[in-house]
Each structure stands twice: as C-alpha cells, then as structure tokens.
Structure 1
Amino acid sequence: MITADNITSHEFLGLNTEIIKSTNPQVIGLNGRIVNETKSMFTINTEKGHKSIAKSTNNWKFSIEGKDVVVEGTKISKRPFDRIGGKA
C-alpha cells in the first residue's frame, strides 16, 4: 500500500500527479495520470495528450490517502525496480 512515508519506494504508474516546481516554467501546473515510467522520465496522460517529462528537474505532487505529498524529482530518478523495497 502506498503511503506518504513510502511513496518513493513504489512505482508511480496509475497515479495522478501535478508539477508544482520546475526548472522549466512552462510545465508548472501540468497534471494528469502517469502511464509510463523510465529511469529519468514520466509519461503523463494529460488533457492535451501524452507528455514525456524529465523527473529530476521537477517537484511532483501526489495525493495519497487524502494528503498532498511533494516528491523531489532527484529522489526518484532511478529505474522503478531500483527504488522498490526502500532503495531510494
């Protein structure tokens, strides 16, 4: 079960997210459901289609158990299976 405390140790596929801070001001506020994840990128299904966005240059907001959780992209810029199990 994904919680605010262990979110960085889980896969993000299927989660809704929003970029709240970025080195690229044009993507701040971009939101949608994560449909693919690689070591360095999320592919997000947005209202305007699929967008591939670098993880490391952004802060990502997730709603977990009714709480907003912000995750720094640099902390999750690993392959999903390298993070699972608390290796983040």
Structure 2
Amino acid sequence: MITADNIVSHEFIGLHTEIIQSTNPQVVGLNGRIINETKSMFSINTEKGVKSIAKSTNSWKFSIGGKEIVIAGSKITKRPFDRIGGKA
C-alpha cells in the first residue's frame, strides 16, 4: 500500500500528479495520470494528450490517503525497479 512515508519506493504508474515547480515555467500546473515511467521521464496523460516530462527538473505533487505529498524530481530519478522495495 502506498503511503506518504513510502511513496518514493513505489511504482508511480497510475497515480495522478501535478507539477508545482519547474525549471521550465511552461509546465508548471501540468497535471494528469502517469501512464509510463523510465529512469528520467514520466509520460503523463493530460487533457491535451500524452506529455513526456523529465523528472529531475520538476517538483511533483501527489495525493495519497487524503494528504498532498510533494517530491523533488531528483529524489525519484532512478529506474522504477531500482526504487521499488526501498532501494531509494
């Protein structure tokens, strides 16, 4: 089960996210469901189609169990299977 305490070590595919801070001001506020993840990118299904966004240059907001969690992209820039299971 994903919680605020262990989200970094879980899979992000299927979660809704929003970019709340970025080195690229044009993507701030972009939100949608994560449909794919690589070491350095999220593919997000937005209202305007699928967007591929670099993880490391953004701060990501997730809602887990009624709590809003903000994660710096630099903390999740690993391959998903390297993070899963607490290797983060």
Report the TM-score range of the alignment, normalised by the length of the smaller protein.
over 0.9
Q: Secondary structure at the match of 1:62?
A: strand
Amino acid of the structure 2 residue aligned with 1:34: I
Task: Report Cα offsets for 1:10-65 as digits up to 9, x if no partner.
Answer: 01000000000000000000000000000000000000000000000000000000
Count the aligned residue pairs: 88
Question: 5+ residue gaps in structure 2?
Answer: none
Task: Report Cα offsets for 1:63-85 as digits up to 9, x if no partner.
Answer: 00000000100000000000011
Is 1:9 aligned to 2:9, yes or no?
Answer: yes
Q: Secondary structure at the match of 2:20?
A: strand
Q: Secondary structure at the match of 1:82?
A: helix
Question: What is the distance in 1 between the residues matched to 2:87 and 2:75?
Answer: 10
Amino acid of the structure 2 residue aligned with 1:40: S
Off by >3 Å, runs of 4+ in structure 1: none
Percent of pairs with identical residues: 82
Q: Secondary structure at the match of 1:81?
A: helix
Question: 5+ residue gaps in structure 1?
Answer: none
Q: TM-score, normalised by structure 2?
A: 0.99
Amino acid of the structure 2 residue aligned with 1:86: G
Question: What is the distance in 2 between the residues matched to 1:44 and 1:20?
Answer: 15
Q: Please provide the CA RMSD for this pair.
A: 0.3
